[in-house]
């Protein structure tokens, strides 16, 4: 398995529409394994294909030790009840903001065998699914912030982004160095 590079804000792929998956190939299964490994190392609860430089409509999620592969997802219904909570993004490190979203959603997707399934999600899983499905349509959580909060988030990002030359975030795989700040690395 391999740890993948994570694309950060400014890389055009994060703003592109993805392409539906037509066949679940061996290469796609390897991508999924690598995405899970990368997500766990980054301490995320989700990771979408564009975040690792891929254009397939595919995301992996693990909320509460329940790994889920979500291929070609569609939100088939969303509650009118909404909730606001803080979100972060592995592609915009150290930037956070409160996002209001439907509290529960029903999602239809394909699994890694290419079989359709539906998932009713609430709380953090519902939020994570919506965040990841947004990634598959080129949308980021900062797009939901008010003008002032978005400006403040982007100003924080302006100070952070130089740590990621070429819009690439390389995760530290050596646990003895994981406490180090990226710009302290050799
Ligand atoms: O897609 C991503 O960038 C991953 C992102 C997903 C996400 C974060 C917050 C709310 C919904 C979806 C993350 O996993 S960032 C890590 C994080 O914020 C988090 C980690 C554990 C529990 C809760 C949030
Ligand atoms: Zn994200």
- pLDDT digits over 27-52, tens only? 999 999 999 999 999 999 999 999 99
87 flagged as catalytic: no
pTM value is 0.95
Q: How many angstroms separate the alpha carbon of residue 141 from the centre of ligand 2?
A: 7
**Ligand 2 (ion): which residues have CB within 5 A?**
89
- Look at residue 119 and give its three-state secondary structure: strand
- The CB of 38 under 6 Å from ligand 1? The reply is no
Best residue for ligand 1 mutational test, from 6, 45, 126 (most atoms within 8 Å of Cβ): 45
Q: How far, in Å, is the centroid of ligand 1 from the Cα of 64?
A: 12
Q: CA torsion, points 14, 20, 26, 30, in degrees to nearest 10?
A: 20
Which of 6, 42, 46 has most ligand 1 atoms within 8 Å of CB, for mutation?
Answer: 46
- Burial of residue 143 (CB within 10 Å: 0-12, 13-18, 19+) is exposed
Whole-angstrom Cα distance, residue 39 to residue 61?
9
| CB 105 within 8 Å of CB 78 | yes
pLDDT score of 1: 79
Contact present, 58 and 112 (Cβ < 8 Å): no
Helix locations, 17-146, DSSP H: 26-41, 123-135
Catalytic residue among 17, 132, 160, 185: 132
Condensed to tens digits (0 to 9), the pLDDT of residues 49-61 reads 999 999 999 999 9
pLDDT for res 180? 59
Q: What is the CA radius of gyration of the chain?
A: 16
Q: How far apart are CA 102 and CA 93, in angstroms?
A: 24
């Amino acid at each position: 398995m391999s740890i993948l590079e994570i694309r950060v804000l400014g890389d055009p792929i994060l703003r592109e529409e993805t392409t539906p998956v037509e066949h679940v190939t061996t290469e796609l299964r390897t991508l999924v394994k690598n995405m899970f490994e990368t997500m766990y190392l980054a301490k995320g609860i989700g990771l979408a294909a564009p975040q690792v430089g891929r254009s397939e409509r595919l995301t992996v999620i693990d909320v509460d030790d329940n790994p889920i592969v979500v291929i070609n997802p569609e939100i088939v219904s969303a509650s009118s009840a909404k909730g606001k909570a803080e979100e972060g993004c592995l592609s915009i490190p150290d930037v956070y903001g409160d996002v209001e979203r439907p509290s529960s959603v029903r999602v239809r997707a394909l699994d890694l065998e290419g079989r359709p399934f539906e998932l009713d999600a609430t709380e953090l899983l519902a939020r994570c699914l919506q965040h990841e499905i947004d990634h598959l349509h080129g949308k980021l959580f900062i797009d939901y912030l008010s003008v002032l909060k978005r400006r403040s988030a982007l100003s924080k990002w302006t100070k952070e982004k130089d740590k990621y030359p070429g819009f690439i975030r390389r995760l530290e795989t050596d646990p003895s160095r994981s406490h180090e700040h990226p710009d302290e690395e050799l």
